Structure 1
């Protein structure tokens, strides 16, 4: 073998020996390490057992302390509960004793009441027996009287039958004698008698009918006055006197120049757009809007308000604002109409009629606002119809619509009642409502029961004090004439027309006028006023007679 082979074998052998020695050394090191780990584990276990023992002892001691504390608390709570239970038992025993005493007293009271009831029952039994005995005696007496009365009646009936037979025989005998004397049979005499009685009955019936008619007219007049007065009293109304001008207030007179504009172009554009006359004069902080149409005046007033508030005043802006305001007014008219019919409880009205009702708000008649007047007439008609048993809904509807012809622009040459009737007919209103509208000024014949109601209520609303304007001269003249009429009677000292001429108070001389004469005087004055004067509504005449005793001490 060569040297290299020996060297390789030696290296392999050395490697094997090294591996073996390394393993032996590694095994010994592992054994030493395991021994150390076991020793440390035993030491840790011993320390853990000692720690567990100490912890257990501490926990046991804590548990014993806590148990002792809980035991003390429980004993204290038990003592408190025992004391509370003892106190409650004592109170309950006292309450039971008190209740026993109350029950004992109640038992005694009940026993006494039972004894009293038993005594009363005994007395009632005795009284009942006595009453029954008396009733039996009375019943026997009444039966005896009834038997006696029955026998008497039977006897009287027998006599009556005998007398009736005798009268029949006498009547037949008399009839034969009359036939012999008159030469007429009984049938002919009966016919003549019937004719005579018929003529007499017709005469009496005619007289009776005349008396009934006269009495009915008197009663009807009285009842009608009563219904009208009660209706007026029950219907409240607002009266608004409107003019043909409106006043637009401004903060400063400097605004007037802006409204007039350069060479008056703004004011001309405003007048042309609204159809009213704008008067700008020396009146401080005010501009006058004049026009017969309240709707146009309201459009002009609201437009001026918007223009002044905006500050931009020129013709183009004026036309824009006026168009916008007119649209708003049209919407407001519809809202007013709808609110009115809702307030009055009227349903199913045509939209065009609703618009006309809203336009009444901006119309006036003799200074009286047309919508307020129509609402009042509707309420008056409803009240009267209820009193008379008529259709309340139709009456209220006719009262509201009776003046719609005044707000229409169609055929203005026709009377407003006829025009309103045509419009109501056009929009399919009930024939009774149509007739009431057309007949409330007697342009057509009244055919509906509610027509006279509408006419009367229209007159009542128009004749209320302050409802419509009067010329001052005619008003003062009427008041003077009233006072002169009363002063023309003998015994009148003074008289005063008050309540806008609705009442006349007359003071008379107590020495020359008696109480009876005072009553006659009030009637005579009222009759003279009715004959000689013309006035709306009614006038109350009050005659005052005072007795004054005057003496002087000297």
Structure 2
């Protein structure tokens, strides 16, 4: 099979040769040209063969040199690495030997220390026994125990140096007190200097200026109808004849005075004054005052940068704008306290926000103490708890009249600034406050009786007007109630002179003609 393949290949070569020669004979018609061509081709093939061999040998030689160079470098690098490893191994062996030596040394030292500790413990026990023996001997010789001896030594020392210790202690107390007093004075003076506003002593009267004195007749009305309707609906007393060009509005309740003043001012601008118009203007004035109360509460909170108080508390705060205590405007007093409390709290390291809000809300109960039983402190605490004000703020405000102990550092600050604000020259008037308490007491006592709709203290507390329900109270019951009210006032209040009780039964019937 192999022979057959060789013959086939040989025949194939002869056929290829014949084909090539036939083609060349066609190209070269002259035989000599053909021979020359073949000779040249043969020479070129031979030269190409030898050139190829030469290039192959050259490349092999070059590759061999590069290979030898690479091998030489690898051997050199390997030798270097081997030497480095040998050096490291030697260094590690030496380090190991040193560590072993140190370990042996440490073990030896540890053994020595252990022996020393055992000796110390033995010596300790020995000396303890000796100490006890000596103490027992001393106790037997002296006849007293160790505790008695120590007590006697301290008594002698105290006796010898008692005077020196007392003098030194008093000196420290004096110096410390002087330093603290000076610091306290600096803080308080600084707070007062930074916050100073005019004092408002508007107590129980307001006035309305008249452009034309003849307007007084319109205000009084026919048979006093207009002035009676005005006083009945506002709960104030109008003093017409005290000044020629003014009407004095008298009431201990500043909100009533403000409503009356606004209503009267608007009535004087019109041409006609009659009971229906009076009622309309009073209702408008009440709405206007209510809006002012809301506005003042929010303005106060913004001024002091307090933004988390409930709306109900802000409304109560606004009511203090019309409230006075000892002749001092309660809202201004509270704002003044809040500013000073914040300054002092920052100086002494207390919570300035709790101190500020506690001072601002300390008299919040006075906004409704006309309507609710109890002290204004207790009323204020109940209100703040009801509207979920921070417990620390309640603790800060609850003790400013000594009803509760100071529960935190901020409470001391609130008490201090309350005293500072009240003690400012002209800030308060004790007589005025007693007068206001008398008027408040009159109304409070009267409103306790069943069937009473309204009660107004007038004429500087010399008269109390009581309005009753005509359907429940007849003439006989009215007389009896007036006497009971008089007896109750005599029992609970102290006052000079006498108080007039005017009980009024008024039934209105309204009908419309169409």
Q: TM-score, normalised by structure 1?
A: 0.48
Q: Deviations over 1:107-144 (max 9, x none)?
A: xxxxxxxxxxxxxxxxxxxxxxxxxxxxxxxxxxxxxx
State the Cα distance separating 1:309 from its structure 2 match: 0.9
Match for 2:134 among 159, 178, 183? Answer: 183
> Which residue matches 1:263?
223
**Once the 2 structures are TM-superposed, how far is the Cα of residue 311 of structure 1 from its aligned partner?**
1.9
Q: 1:181 to 1:368 in 2, by over 3 A?
A: closer
How far apart in 2 are the matches of 1:254 and 1:345?
Answer: 49
Q: CA deviation at 1:347?
A: 1.5
1:415 matched to 2:364? The reply is: no
Are 1:309 and 2:260 an aligned pair?
Answer: no
Choose which of 325, 345, 349 in structure 1 pairs with 2:309.
Answer: 349
Instruction: Judge conservation of contact 2:195–2:340 (CA < 8 Å) in 1.
Output: yes
**Does structure 1 residue 404 correspond to structure 2 residue 364?**
yes
Deviations 1:60-117 (A, max 9, x none): xxxxxxxxxxxxxxxxxxxxxxxxxxxxxxxxxxxxxxxxxxxxxxxxxxxxxxxxxx
Q: 1:229 to 1:180 in 2, by over 3 A?
A: closer
Q: Distance in 2 between matches of 1:471 and 1:294?
A: 17
Q: Which residue of 2 aligns with 1:232?
A: 192
Matches of 1:252 and 1:265, distance apart in 2? 20
Distance 1:260 1:410, change over 3 A: closer
Q: 2:286 pairs with 318, 322, 326, which one?
A: 326
CA-to-aligned-CA distance 1:454-493 (integer Å, 9 cap, x gap): 1110110011112123669xxxxxxxxxxxxxxxxxxxxx
**SS at 2:292's partner residue?**
helix
CA 1:244 to 1:199, structure 2 compared with 1: closer, same or farther past 3 Å? farther
Matching residue within 280, 283, 299 for 2:259: 299
Q: Secondary structure at the match of 2:238?
A: strand
What does residue 238 of structure 2 align with?
278
Contact 1:411 1:419 in 2 (8 A): no
Given the superposition, is the C-alpha separation of residues 270 and 455 from structure 1 closer, same or farther in structure 2, using an over 3 Å criterion?
same
Q: Structure 2: any 5+ residue segments left out of the alignment?
A: 1-122, 140-144, 433-514
Confirm or deny that 1:435 pairs with 2:381: no
1:435-474 to 2 correspondences below 5 Å: 435-469=395-429
CA distance in 1, matches of 2:394, 2:223: 53
Q: Is the 8 A contact 1:279 1:288 kept in 2?
A: yes
Is the contact made by 2:317 and 2:364 (CA closer than 8 Å) also made in structure 1? yes
**Distance (whole Å) between structure 1 residues aligned to residue 406 and residue 175 of structure 2:** 25
Q: Considering Cα pairs closer than 8 Å and 6+ residues apart, tell me whether 1 or 2 has the greater RCO.
A: 2
8 Å CA contact 1:238, 1:372 repeated in 2: no
CA distance in 2, matches of 1:236, 1:180: 75
Is the Cα–Cα contact under 8 Å of residues 235 and 376 in structure 1 kept in the other structure? yes
In structure 2, the CA distance between the partners of 1:471 and 1:422, relative to structure 1 (3 Å rule), is closer
Q: 1:265 to 1:400 in 2, by over 3 A?
A: same
Structure 1 runs not aligned, ≥5 long: 1-171, 473-554
What is the Cα deviation at residue 356 of structure 1?
1.5
TM-score (norm 2): 0.51
Report the alpha carbon displacement of residue 401 of structure 1 after superposing the two structures with TM. 0.6
The 1-side partners of 2:288 and 2:132 are apart by 102
Tell me, yes or no, if structure 1 residue 370 matches structure 2 residue 330: yes
* Residues 326 and 431 in structure 2, CA contact (< 8 A), matched pair in contact too: no
Question: Higher mean Cα deviation, 296-305 or 404-413?
Answer: 404-413
Counterpart CA distance in 2 for 1:381 and 1:321 is: 42
Change (3 A) 1:428 1:471: closer
* Alpha-carbon RMSD: 3.6
State the distance in 1 between where 2:131 and 2:283 align: 108
- Alpha-carbon separation, structure 2, partners of 1:198 and 1:258: 98
Equivalent residues of 2:369, 2:376 under 8 A apart = no
> 1:255/1:216 Cα in 2 relative to 1: closer, same or farther (>3 Å)?
same
Question: Could you tell me how far apart the structure 1 residues matched to 2:330 and 2:418 are?
Answer: 11
Give the match for residue 100 of structure 2.
Answer: none
Q: Following the alignment from structure 1 to structure 2, what is the Cα–Cα distance between the partners of residues 407 and 300? A: 19
CA displacement 1:287-308 (0-9 Å, x = unmatched): 1111011111111111111111
Deviations 1:307-356 (A, max 9, x none): 11122311111111111110111011100110011001111111121111
Change (3 A) 1:247 1:394: same
CA contact (8 A) 2:327 2:429 kept: yes
Cα distance in 1 for partners of 2:278, 2:371 equals 32
**Cα distance in 2 for residues equivalent to 1:392 and 1:304:** 44
**8 Å contact from structure 1 (residues 270, 318) kept in 2:** yes
Counterpart residue number, 2:511 = none
- Quote the Cα distance in structure 1 between the aligned partners of 2:262 and 2:362: 30
